[in-house]
Structure 1
Amino acid sequence: MASGRSTTSGIDRRLLVAALLAAWPAAWAAEGSCAKPVYLTFDTGHMDVAPLIADVLARHQVKVTFFAANERTKTGDGSLGEHWAPWWRARAAEGHEFASHTFDHVYWRADLPGGGFRVQASAGPDQGRLQDWTAARYCAEIDKAARRLEQVTGRKPLPLFRAPGGKTSPRFVQAMRDCGYGHVGWSPTGFLGDELPSQSHPNAALLDQALRGVRPGDILVAHLGIWSRSDPWAPAVLEPLVVGLKSRGFCFRTLREHPQWRDWIARKS
């Protein structure tokens, strides 16, 4: 279609989910051993689809890791503001994990002589401004989001962070590791595409690509709402993706259980 919108109707999606549900028993049998784990993660966004995402995760008993920043939202005072605090507390009660995405969604832009970094926030009072920060200043920015997460959830976040956009340098990653935070990106086949334009990447194509491409051990990434996408990803893709991966023997785990990070988390906790 010229608009690039998904051609999969609501009825079609329900039929797909129903068909995949029929294939679940074999996947359930393998769930305990988890021979094919995947690690679904969500970064914050405008939060409009957050309730829907929570419903899908609860319905299918999927635990994920949320990377949170205080981003602008369609409703309320920011994704880590008071309006959304009950939503985060409910996710903690369900057993999800949390980690920092920096408080003001601060992008790394470049390494600077002397060990500092050029950065740019996309939220907060310095939104859009290029600034030069020390490593300690960026660490404090990670800490700020982690402290807020602990305040609203009552749970200590994981000693991990995700740089906005996944943009880093080796020196930047090491500097943050030195102050206690491991950087987590995502697998090449784990990029679920919800940031891409709907016109060139319709939901049906993104779902098909993920179901064909995801591999055991992959870290997957999506968002709690993308402002620029005209055809929202989560309502069309998340549930059939979860059901489809489970029907193929995949199981969902949090980053606390990831082999690259579990010892680090145990040492830092």
Structure 2
Amino acid sequence: MEREPLLSEEAKEQRGSGQEKEQNRYKQLLKRFQQIQPILLTLMILAIIGLSVFLVNEKMNVQRLQSSNSDFRKQIQALQVHDNLVIEKMQRIYRENENFQLRYGPIPARGGNADYPMKPKTVYLTFDDGPSEITPAILDVLAQHNVKATFFVTGNETPFGKEMYRRIVKEGHAIGNHTFSHKYGLIYASGDRFMDEVKRLDGLIAQETGVHTDILRFPGGSNFNGTLGIDFMRQLSRRCIDEGYDYFDWNVDSKDSEKPVQSKETITSSVKEQVSNKNTAVILFHDLSAKKTTVEALPEIIEHLKSQGFTFEVLRKGAYSVKFI
């Protein structure tokens, strides 16, 4: 019974010794943390600096890329401007030398509405002189084959003529100016007379369709050599361009105008032969009451062009252009 207090004191001493060891261990850990604290702070500062440098570099890289892309776009625009200037010079050469195009073939003309670069294997079906009684049949064939064409029309103030203007536009075709009267002696009497004819037809088309057309085709072609001569046509073609029009000739002749009624076989074979070596074809047809064989030839011609990989487009200002002068 007398030894129990001694054992209790021993336990107290052991307990006190344990607490002292824990305190010493904590002090040692605190001392070590205090020793490495500057190192940890330094590492944190370095990490923050590194991250900041990385973010700054990334921002600079993005800015450099944006600047590079802007410079690249400017270079592309400069090349396009240079390309258009070259084409304009070529067009002047074509207008000034009537034999140039016959020798070297047509050149492209690009503008704000045109694709860049030019599409390969493109065909433009064009119909002159309408509206006529075969215009509905032509439009029906085009609709059946889901292709579009360009109609260079003349003046027709009858209810039927006005309806044909509207139908041409409504069905997605292009409508162009072929002068109001198409009478050579009248329209080519002077430059002013020609422009009066063009403006009169423009007014009629706009009134019926809401379209203010800016494309035209000279009756007989831009190289028509009438009583005033080829120099007159050169001056007239420049005037048309100055007044906001683009004019179009052709590089494939269907030969449907070589006689009043051309055979379907001649029309078909003429087109097939002439498009065989072309990537871009502007085909001349005529929309006149007597040209029923032109309508008959159209389905076979369209199917042949599709089989040869051609896509069908309509002429518009700045599109692919064939100009005789």
TM-score (normalizing by structure 1): 0.64
Structure 1 pair 260/248, CA: closer, same or farther in 2 (3 Å)?
A: closer
Secondary structure of 1:235's aligned partner: helix
- Counterpart-to-counterpart distance in 2, 1:95 and 1:202: 29
Q: Give the corresponding residue for 2:244.
A: 180
Give the structure 1 partner of residue 259 of structure 2: 197
Aligned pair 1:170/2:234, yes or no?
yes
1:149 aligns with 2:211: no
Number of equivalences: 193
8 Å CA contact retained: 1:68, 1:80 = no
Give the secondary structure class of the aligned counterpart of 1:165.
Answer: coil
Distance 2:305 2:317 in 1: 19
Q: Which amino acid letter does the alignment assign opposite residue 237 of structure 1?
A: A
Letter in 2 for 1:105: H
> Which residue matches 1:120?
186
Contact kept, 8 Å, 1:195 with 1:226, in 2: the verdict is no
Q: Does 1:225 align with 2:291?
A: no
Task: Spell out the pairing of 1:9-20 with structure 2 (5 A cutoff).
Answer: none
Q: Relative to structure 1, is the Cα distance of residues 178 and 57 closer, same or farther in structure 2, using a 3 angstrom cutoff?
A: same
Tell me the residue number matched to 1:207.
268
Question: Kindly tell me: are residues 149 and 197 of structure 1, through their superposed partners in 2, closer, same or farther at Cα, counting changes over 3 Å?
Answer: same
Spell out, residue by residue over 1:195-226, the C-alpha distance to the aligned partner (whole angstroms, 9 max, x if none): 12268x52212202211221221211111115
The higher relative CO (CA closer than 8 Å, separation ≥ 6) is in 1
Contact kept in structure 2, 1:89 and 1:154, CA below 8 Å = no
Deviation of the 1:84 alpha carbon: 2.2
Superposition map of 1:1-269 within 5 A: 35-45=120-130, 47-70=132-155, 79-107=156-184, 119-120=185-186, 132-133=189-190, 135-157=191-213, 159-166=214-221, 167=224, 169-187=233-251, 190-197=252-259, 202-214=263-275, 215-225=278-288, 227=290, 232-256=292-316, 259-260=319-320
Structure 1 counterpart of 2:132, which letter?
Answer: M
Residue 14 of structure 1: aligned partner? none
Alpha-carbon distance in 2 for matches of 1:259, 1:179:
17
Q: Tell me, in whole angstroms, the C-alpha distance in 1 between the residues paired with 2:243 and 2:193.
A: 11
Task: Tell me the distance in 1 between the aligned counterparts of 2:189 and 2:179.
Answer: 16
- Cα distance, 1:34 vs structure 2: 5.5
CA–CA separation in structure 2 for the residues paired with 1:104 and 1:209: 29
Could you list the runs of 5+ residues in structure 2 that have no partner in the other structure?
Answer: 1-117, 226-232
| Deviation for aligned residue 1:152 | 1.4
Residue 121 of structure 2 aligns with an amino acid whose one-letter code is K
How far residue 256 of structure 1 moved from its aligned partner, in angstroms, is: 2.1
CA drift at 1:255: 0.7
Q: What's the secondary structure of 1:220's corresponding residue?
A: strand
| Higher CA-based Rg | 2
Secondary structure of residue in 2 paired with 1:256: coil
Distance in 2 between the 1:181 and 1:106 partners? 20
Q: TM-score, normalised by structure 2?
A: 0.54
Higher helix share: 2
Query: Per-residue deviation at 1:45?
Result: 3.9
AA aligned opposite 1:155: V
Mapped to 2, the partners of 1:101 and 1:38 lie a distance apart of 20
Q: After superposition, give the CA deviation of every residue in 1:49-94 in whole Å (9 maximum; x if it has no partner).
A: 1111010011111111111112xxxxxxxx3432222222122111
